[in-house]
């Protein structure tokens, strides 16, 4: 009986401990999401949403596509876009210094009253991905029509991310018209080839480095206001990107004897490669629930009771959470370095055994997992000296550093969002894809990724997909958001 009593006492202590930690977890999240910073006194402004939508529509109609094969690009379309921007935003072009960097990237500089203060930079990119030919018939309106209908602006770039480019210019134009002048210098940086992971943003950063510029903060495309997309959290949530995963594409190949298919050897180039690829896929990189703990710590006050208890007691429930997250490819990618075989090549004729077979394997690296670590582990997993691999040229970079969240630039991003989405819980997250933002760490520690429009699961599928669109109302919010954020970020104390 004494043993049973002891076990019951220990269980009660455990339950009490779990509930206390859960309560403290919820309380901390409530306090942190309620600490908004004050805005800056600027003339009241509400975007003319119809006029702004028309400007975005015009920009969508210009096909600034980045192709994998650069010979397919049309430089004249970028020139056409630049002329349109100059026409639509005369005060921006009159007041701000305007430079074309590299082939077609744009850098605008709005000098502040105090030039001793580090500038801030707000970014987007001008280019878009193509619309796949086989999918054109599935579009409600043609992908480059810029059609305004049914309350939406339709077309490639509305979500990724010409909307951010245009909303930044709309807001700066309005600030100038209303007599605002920033205390610290404000820059706008618009790369021209982000979709092919190009050099536009790198050229902007290199130019600023040459001039000795250090940025106080920068924000690029990235997280948004998500509607029902965070597991265990109902309603709207703000996700502010504080880092992004690294990128590594490896060419993996095997050379062996070619021959006739009627007399195959026990092992061939193709069979050896297939076995190696199976081992690679069957040995995924370790999952790390700790990578999303900061996000759920911020969402703790609005999460379901089960999620509150789980993330308040990771020491006890970490294994369960890991299993749940690994069931979905989307959530699994948030907690591990991912592996995907994307290209396979081998053979030219059905009765010839090829002497060479190769594949491309793409990895997206969690912060903390280096390229060297990924390659070393891969070598051990393959365990076959006949299999060789090397990075695809230009397709390898480390995961970005993680930007701080206990600072005013981050708090202003969240506070401004709550002016449009009341009581919006905001949290840091790691961006799964790539952006131009990763290049700015060379001159900035406070690098963020946030696009202030709301989107649901269906909207996510439209990015790089069919029927990309953004509502006129949501685009108006974007313009208003940056109109309020820019004075916050450009004040003397930041």
pLDDT at position 390:
97
At 18, the pLDDT band (50, 70, 90 cuts) reads low
Number of domain units in the chain: 2
Sign (positive or negative) of CA dihedral 82, 84, 87, 92:
negative
At 25, the pLDDT band (50, 70, 90 cuts) reads low
Whether residue 321 is found in the same domain as residue 338 = yes
Whether residue 382 is found in the same domain as residue 285 = yes
* pLDDT at 66 > cutoff 80: yes
For range 424-433, the mean pLDDT: 94
| CA–CA dist 399, 430 (Å, integer) | 10
Whether residue 110 is found in the same domain as residue 175 = yes
Final residue of a domain: which of 344, 367, 397?
397
Whether residue 203 is found in the same domain as residue 78 = yes
**CATH code of residue 285:** 3.30.70.360
* pLDDT at 250 > cutoff 70: yes
Of 20-34, 109-123, 429-443, minimum mean pLDDT range:
20-34
On whether residue 20 sits in a domain, the answer given is: no
pLDDT at position 290:
87
Which two three-digit tokens encode residue 166?
């245009």
On whether residue 286 sits in a domain, the answer given is: yes
For range 44-62, the mean pLDDT: 95
pLDDT at position 133:
87
Contact 117, 184 (CB under 8 A): yes
pLDDT at position 274:
97
On whether residue 376 sits in a domain, the answer given is: yes
pLDDT at position 207:
98
pLDDT at position 39:
85
* pLDDT at 21 > cutoff 70: yes
On whether residue 356 sits in a domain, the answer given is: yes
Whether residue 145 is found in the same domain as residue 183 = yes
On whether residue 411 sits in a domain, the answer given is: yes
Final residue of a domain: which of 335, 364, 397?
397
Whether residue 76 is found in the same domain as residue 215 = yes
pLDDT at position 366:
97
Of 83-87, 168-172, 329-333, 453-457, minimum mean pLDDT range:
329-333
pLDDT digits (tens, 9 = 90+) for 133-180: 889 999 999 999 999 999 999 999 999 999 999 999 999 999 999 999
* pLDDT at 5 > cutoff 80: no
For range 414-426, the mean pLDDT: 95
Which CA distances in Å does 76 have to 103, 146, 183, 188?
A: 11, 19, 37, 22
Contact 297, 25 (CB under 8 A): yes
Final residue of a domain: which of 397, 429, 450?
397
Output 210-214 pairs: Cβ under 8 A, ≥24 positions apart: 213/118, 213/119, 213/443, 214/118, 214/443, 214/444
For range 264-269, the mean pLDDT: 93
Contact 405, 217 (CB under 8 A): no
pTM for this model (two decimals): 0.93
On whether residue 32 sits in a domain, the answer given is: no
For range 380-408, the mean pLDDT: 96
pLDDT at position 154:
98
For range 287-311, the mean pLDDT: 84
**CATH code of residue 143:** 3.40.630.10
- Which of 414, 409, 491, 488 minimizes the C-alpha distance to 219? 409
For range 49-65, the mean pLDDT: 98
Whether residue 419 is found in the same domain as residue 328 = no
* pLDDT at 14 > cutoff 70: no
Of 135-139, 225-229, 325-329, 351-355, minimum mean pLDDT range:
325-329
Helix (H) or strand (E) holding 357: strand 356-365
* pLDDT at 34 > cutoff 60: no
At 458, the pLDDT band (50, 70, 90 cuts) reads very high
Map residue 491 onto helix, strand or coil: coil
- Which of 215, 201, 207, 200 minimizes the C-alpha distance to 121? 215
Q: What domain range is 425 assigned to?
A: 49-243+400-489
Strand arrangement, sheet containing 387-397: 338-346, 356-365, 246-255, 387-397
pLDDT at position 231:
81
On whether residue 24 sits in a domain, the answer given is: no
pLDDT at position 8:
74
On whether residue 38 sits in a domain, the answer given is: no
For range 49-64, the mean pLDDT: 98
Whether residue 330 is found in the same domain as residue 192 = no
CA 333 to chain centre: 13
pLDDT digits (tens, 9 = 90+) for 225-246: 999 888 888 899 999 999 999 9
* pLDDT at 27 > cutoff 80: no
For range 201-215, the mean pLDDT: 98
Catalytic residue numbers, as ranges? 127, 194
- Which of 247, 461, 438 minimizes the C-alpha distance to 342? 247
| CA–CA dist 327, 329 (Å, integer) | 7
pLDDT at position 324:
83
Whether residue 414 is found in the same domain as residue 385 = no
pLDDT at position 176:
97
Whether residue 331 is found in the same domain as residue 229 = no
* pLDDT at 204 > cutoff 60: yes
Whether residue 294 is found in the same domain as residue 430 = no
For range 448-472, the mean pLDDT: 96
Whether residue 331 is found in the same domain as residue 469 = no
Cβ-based neighbours of 207, under 8 Å, separated by 6 or more:
99, 101, 107
- Inter-axis angle of helices 305-312 and 314-325, nearest 10: 120
- Arithmetic mean of pLDDT over the chain: 93
pLDDT at position 38:
85
């Amino acid at each position: 009986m004494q043993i049973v009593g002891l076990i019951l006492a220990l269980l009660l202590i455990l339950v009490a401990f779990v509930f206390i930690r859960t309560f403290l977890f919820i309380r901390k999240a409530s306090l942190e999401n309620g600490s908004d910073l004050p805005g800056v006194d600027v003339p009241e402004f509400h975007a003319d949403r119809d006029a702004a939508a028309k400007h975005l529509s015009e920009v969508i109609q210009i096909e600034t596509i980045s192709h994998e094969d650069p010979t397919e690009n049309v430089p004249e379309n970028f020139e056409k876009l630049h002329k349109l921007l100059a026409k639509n935003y005369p005060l921006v072009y009159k007041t701000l210094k305007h430079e074309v960097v590299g082939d077609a990237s744009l850098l605008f500089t709005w000098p502040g009253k105090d030039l001793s203060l580090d500038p801030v930079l707000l970014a987007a990119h001008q280019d878009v991905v193509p619309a796949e030919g086989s999918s054109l018939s599935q579009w409600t309106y043609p992908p480059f029509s810029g059609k305004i209908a049914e309350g939406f602006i339709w077309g490639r770039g509305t979500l990724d991310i010409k909307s951010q480019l245009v909303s930044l210019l709309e807001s700066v134009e309005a600030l100038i018209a209303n007599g605002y002048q920033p205390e610290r210098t404000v820059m706008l940086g618009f790369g021209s080839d982000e979709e092919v992971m190009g050099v536009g943003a790198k050229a902007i950063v290199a130019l600023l480095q040459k001039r000795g510029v250090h940025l106080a903060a920068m924000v690029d495309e990235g997280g948004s206001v998500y509607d029902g997309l965070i597991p265990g959290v109902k309603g709207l949530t703000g996700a502010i990107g504080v880092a992004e995963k690294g990128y590594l594409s490896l060419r993996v190949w095997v050379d062996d004897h070619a021959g006739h298919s009627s007399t195959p050897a026990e092992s061939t180039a193709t069979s050896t490669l297939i076995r190696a690829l199976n081992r690679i896929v069957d040995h995924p990189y370790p999952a790390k629930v700790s990578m999303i703990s900061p996000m759920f710590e911020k969402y703790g006050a609005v999460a379901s009771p089960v999620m509150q208890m789980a993330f308040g007691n990771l020491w006890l429930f970490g294994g369960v959470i890991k299993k749940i997250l690994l069931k979905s490819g989307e959530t699994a990618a948030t907690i591990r370095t991912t592996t995907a075989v994307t290209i396979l090549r081998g053979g030219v004729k059905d009765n010839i055994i090829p002497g060479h077979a190769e594949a491309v394997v793409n990895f997206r690296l969690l912060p903390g997992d280096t390229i060297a670590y990924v390659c070393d582990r891969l070598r051990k997993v393959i365990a076959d000296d006949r299999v060789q691999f090397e990075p695809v040229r230009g397709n390898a970079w480390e995961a970005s550093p993680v930007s701080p969240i206990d600072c005013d630039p981050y708090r202003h991003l969240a506070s401004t969002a709550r002016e449009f989405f009341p009581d919006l819980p905001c949290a840091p997250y790691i961006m799964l894809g790539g952006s131009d933002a990763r290049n700015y760490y060379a001159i900035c520690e406070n690098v963020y990724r946030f696009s202030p429009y709301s989107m649901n699961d269906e909207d996510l599928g439209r990015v790089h997909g069919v029927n990309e669109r953004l509502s006129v109302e949501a685009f108006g919010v974007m313009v208003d958001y940056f109109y309020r954020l820019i004075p916050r970020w450009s004040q003397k104390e930041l």
